[in-house]
Amino acid sequence: MAFAEGEASLDGLNLQPGTLYVLRPGIAATLRSGKGGHVMLCGGAPLDGPRHVWWNFVSSRKERIEQAKEDWKAGKFGTIPGDDKEFIPLPE
């Protein structure tokens, strides 16, 4: 669950904006907001194996991460409409 803005609490714990909260499977919890907090809830079955993460890339195969790095450098990723001027280089 990611908390974006406003005021919200989870089982009495005040949530901090811009923070990701991970709940253990099977836990029942109460999410409350008296002032219209914005929260994104994500869930589903566990993934089928480990994932590799590097910068903004996530894959089940390390080789795919390396390919994504090359594709990023080559400009093969699409752009966001209205934000196609800025290019963020890969971290060192």
Place of tokens 């790095």: 69
pLDDT at res. 30: 94
The pTM assigned to this predicted structure is 0.56
CA distances from 79 to 1, 53, 84, 85, 87 (A): 27, 21, 5, 9, 9
Q: Which residues lie across from 39 on neighbouring strands?
A: 3
Judge whether 55 and 44 are in contact, CB under 8 Å: no
Q: Are 37 and 15 in contact (CB under 8 A)?
A: yes
Using one digit for the tens of pLDDT, what is the confidence trace for 10-50? Answer: 999 999 988 888 888 888 999 999 988 888 888 888 889 99
